[in-house]
Structure 1
Amino acid sequence: MASTANPAGKTSSTKTRRSPRLKRLLKTLGPGLVTGASDDDPSGIVTYSQAGSQFGLTTLWTALLTFPLMAAIQGMAARIGLVTNHGLTGCLRMHYPKWVLFFVLIFCFPAVILNIGADIQGMGAVAHLLVPAIPAFSFSILFTALLLYMIIKYPYQKMAGLLKWLCLGLLLYLIVPFLVHQEWSGVVRRTFVPEIHFDKGFLSILVAILGTTISPHLFFWQATMEVEDQQHNGAKKQLFVDKRVLKDMRSDVNIGMFFSNLVMFFVILTAGSVLFPAGIRNIDTVEQAALALKPLAGNLSYVLFAIGVIGTGLIAIPVLAGSLSYMLAETLQFSMGLDKKFNEAKRFYAVIIVSLIAGLCMQSFGLSAVRALLYTAILYGITAPVLIAIILHIGNNKKIMGSNTNSWLSNLLGFLTLILMTAAAVALIWLELAT
């Protein structure tokens, strides 16, 4: 009897020890998880669907490449926010010439608004597919109004809580590939054995994947949200940052970026295993991707994919609009914060309102989501290498970061990201000029 009771006791104590550890891990999830989930917006879903429909499973390996690069850069941005108690824009304003800050803002502002517009269009179009009786633009108006209500009504912590629950919606993309037949040995091989074709089409999709996953507005959002998170928890500016805080931040960022790349992997897998074998190559919008799945993978796959698009938009658009508003607020030094009520930060919320309405009106001016994404990619492509270089410089500056400068691994991954994003920017310009 004693011999059987002891193992049971061990099992019970092990579960008891694991439970607080799991609770603590879940508690640390915040800005990093939301940032990672927002990266898989409807615009990103289009890119990943294009990769799968045009090249099958050939680009699955890119998820393994972008994960450590994203984690390194977002981790640096988060550390800058924690250590300096300022967002990235605030650091640029205080430590760099004004022209650097204005250069970044000039290119980021239109890019973010175009991205918001493309996402709103995508959400409206997909919702129209599910409920054909209601026009797509009516859905776009509805989603815009809903998002504005959520952002203005709820303080940061409630908003962050809502966004974290919405992240669960992205798990829908992990289900779809299991609803169709898969040759899993081929999936594993394509994931771990990179294959590159040196032709224009393949290079274009690689550049698009890099530009979609490593987006400049996420750097600003990550740094600012770390500050907002600390302020909400009552932490004040200090000369040093507790090691546990940094460890929690790294866990949050790494899990968020892993989650983002996992979704990316499964969207490429879905398109590559369903659309590519059927000879469907031209996917320019999320509704085209959803419609193409319907006859090939069944109604369930179609509905899950469509609902996932709406969920990603509800996560991504607050992040896009919020990052834009924080950029301008830190530059012009007016009252800011998602924790503040509307009458306490009117200009901050006005920027969010204007950016969403401008994105909504994009359709009225005849600018399609496809064209908007092209312009966004070009603008992001120009600013990303500059921002990555600045983040690396700040992260290694002891006058700004004190003893919390970058590790050798962060620098290695950061410089690799800088090289790849610079090459992607050059390739993007070359590909556009060659068209």
Structure 2
Amino acid sequence: MATEPEIGTSEPRSLLTVLGPGLVTGAADDDPSGIGTYSQVGAQFGYGMAWTMLFGFPLLASIQAICARIGATTGRGIAHNLRRHYHPALLRTMVMLLLIANVINLGADLGAMGAALALLVPGPALAFTVMFGIVSVTAEVFIAYTRYARILKWTTLSLFSYVAVVFVAGVDWGAALRGIVIPSFAFDKDHTMALVAVFGTTISPYLFFWQAGQEVEEQHRRHTKPLCIAPRTAGPELRRIRTDTLVGMGFSHLTALFIIIATAATLHAHGVNDVTSAAQAAEALRPIAGNLAFALFAVGIIGTGLLAVPVLAGSAAYAVSETFRWTEGLDRKPREAKAFYGVIAVATLGGVALNFTGIDPMRALYWAAVVNGLLAPPLMVVTMMIARNPRIMGRLTIPPRLAFGGWLSTAVMWAIALLFLFG
């Protein structure tokens, strides 16, 4: 079996310095719309669907590590590599679907953040939604990338609020452990939709574009060359990517698991089986688990939203800019990458505007899941083809073990997409 290149050495680095794109990507996976999905699963099925987090972790970790390696090895994002090596129609279709899904997700996340703040502070939820949209765009456009990357990294701490909720929720740990390690599934409409929702929320195309793009950003920040050009640095860098991705995706799945457990122990245990939003989940916790659990849940929605919104907008900007060969990158000044930052602003404010249309937010999330569910499988196939192509990756094509994980993840997402369409 192929092994990682061991060429070159590097000084030992602390875990905190190693963590970066993978940690932020994993934490952004638990966005407010994802929190709503996990809350619904916990409320509806109790601990019965907790196993999906254990099952999904290696799948997400594999495909995200592959996307990160593509960015680090080629020095280009997913869309750029698609444009150079595949038919333009494929690229345009992928990017258009990504943009549609991201704007819908942005609208749902910003709306959830506004509703969560309205639960904590008296005021109109729509006004808070607009405020969060403006704050997110301003920060992403005008804060220097080095500082902004640190802000995103520290924002991941907001996810610990869900760890705290579990410890005030009165969990039946025996039942929770059985739900985690013993799969339970019935081939009925409710279980099928829950499975589709969980994996559609967890393995999302915007994460692919973002993590690959962030690896390229990190090379610019550190003034290093792509690994295909500087293979002597490959060994240490690929080990960093592996650690960063495993920790980030593990953090993501552990947080999602805590949300399922917390809502199972509170909402499901008290007969509350239907949750239509993350904010409703927070409100429903108050009379059952107390004000502390309610406040922690609501604050977590806002914190994860502040992390996820720039990731959603940024991934769209990377994809669109690479498609049209625009200057791109968060390390660029606004005047150097006007179109790139313009996409960030338009996507975010488009999400804000959706909250004024009267569209049912759960219906919007449903269609976002449809688009993501249809987009992810073919995009994962193309991603795997890129990662295994020596013309693109040189001698740093992904090793067989990682390729197996990537193809398994792809097969699972194809199966879920077909289940979604024909189940």
Question: TM-score interval w.r.t. the shorter chain?
Answer: over 0.9
Distance in 2 between residues matched to 1:368 and 1:307, nearest whole Å: 23
> Is 2:225 the counterpart of 1:236?
yes
> Is 2:130 the counterpart of 1:141?
yes
Deviation at 1:131, TM superposition (A): 1.2
What are the Cα deviations for residues 14-43 of structure 1, in whole angstroms up to 9, with x where unaligned? Answer: xxxxxx96x522101100000000000000
> Is 2:79 the counterpart of 1:89?
yes
1:293 is matched with which residue? 285
> Is 2:256 the counterpart of 1:267?
no
Match of residue 107, structure 2, among 105, 110, 117: 117
1:67 is matched with which residue? 57
1:126 is matched with which residue? 116
Distance in 2 between residues matched to 1:254 and 1:182, nearest whole Å: 27
Structure 1 segment 317-356 matched on structure 2, within 5 A: 317-356=309-348
Distance in 2 between residues matched to 1:155 and 1:65, nearest whole Å: 38
Deviation at 1:368, TM superposition (A): 2.6
Q: Indicate conservation of the 8 Å contact 1:118/1:372, yes or no.
A: yes
1:106 is matched with which residue? 96
Letter in 1 for 2:278: V
Match of residue 189, structure 1, among 178, 186, 190: 178
1:11 is matched with which residue? none
What are the Cα deviations for residues 246-272 of structure 1, in whole angstroms up to 9, with x where unaligned? Answer: 101110111000000010000000111
Distance in 2 between residues matched to 1:338 and 1:84, nearest whole Å: 18
Distance in 2 between residues matched to 1:390 and 1:220, nearest whole Å: 13
Q: What is the TM-score normalised by the length of structure 2?
A: 0.95
1:409 is matched with which residue? 401
5+ residue gaps, structure 1: 1-19
Structure 1 segment 166-315 matched on structure 2, within 5 A: 166-237=155-226, 238-240=229-231, 241-315=233-307
What are the Cα deviations for residues 330-353 of structure 1, in whole angstroms up to 9, with x where unaligned? Answer: 111111111111111111111111
Q: Indicate conservation of the 8 Å contact 1:53/1:275, yes or no.
A: yes
Q: Indicate conservation of the 8 Å contact 1:324/1:351, yes or no.
A: yes
> Is 2:55 the counterpart of 1:55?
no
Distance in 2 between residues matched to 1:334 and 1:181, nearest whole Å: 53
Letter in 1 for 2:130: I
Distance in 2 between residues matched to 1:35 and 1:384, nearest whole Å: 16
Deviation at 1:142, TM superposition (A): 1.1
Q: Indicate conservation of the 8 Å contact 1:79/1:246, yes or no.
A: yes
Distance in 1 between residues matched to 2:70 and 2:94, nearest whole Å: 18
What are the Cα deviations for residues 104-140 of structure 1, in whole angstroms up to 9, with x where unaligned? Answer: 01211111000000000000011101113x1000101
Where 1:190 maps in the other structure, the secondary structure is: helix
> Which range moves more in the overlay, 87-96 or 123-132?
123-132
Distance in 2 between residues matched to 1:387 and 1:155, nearest whole Å: 31
Deviation at 1:236, TM superposition (A): 2.2
Identity within the alignment, %: 42
**Which one has the largest radius of gyration?**
1
Q: Indicate conservation of the 8 Å contact 1:40/1:312, yes or no.
A: yes
Q: Indicate conservation of the 8 Å contact 1:118/1:368, yes or no.
A: no
5+ residue gaps, structure 2: 1-10
> Is 2:73 the counterpart of 1:78?
no
2:371 is matched with which residue? 379
State the number of aligned residues: 410
Match of residue 142, structure 2, among 133, 153, 164: 153
Deviation at 1:103, TM superposition (A): 1.5
Q: What is the root-mean-square deviation in Å for CA atoms of aligned residues?
A: 1.2
Letter in 2 for 1:68: P
Where 2:270 maps in the other structure, the secondary structure is: coil
Distance in 2 between residues matched to 1:231 and 1:106, nearest whole Å: 27
Letter in 2 for 1:158: R
Match of residue 41, structure 1, among 31, 45, 60: 31
Distance in 2 between residues matched to 1:242 and 1:388, nearest whole Å: 24
Letter in 1 for 2:308: A
Q: What is the TM-score normalised by the length of structure 1?
A: 0.92
Distance in 1 between residues matched to 2:68 and 2:316, nearest whole Å: 17
Deviation at 1:85, TM superposition (A): 0.6
Letter in 1 for 2:325: Q
Deviation at 1:180, TM superposition (A): 2.4
Distance in 1 between residues matched to 2:323 and 2:267, nearest whole Å: 45
Where 1:179 maps in the other structure, the secondary structure is: coil
Q: Indicate conservation of the 8 Å contact 1:28/1:248, yes or no.
A: yes
Distance in 2 between residues matched to 1:155 and 1:329, nearest whole Å: 19
Distance in 1 between residues matched to 2:173 and 2:198, nearest whole Å: 23
Letter in 1 for 2:82: L
Letter in 1 for 2:73: V
Where 1:343 maps in the other structure, the secondary structure is: coil
Q: Indicate conservation of the 8 Å contact 2:220/2:331, yes or no.
A: no
Distance in 2 between residues matched to 1:252 and 1:325, nearest whole Å: 23
Q: Indicate conservation of the 8 Å contact 1:122/1:369, yes or no.
A: no
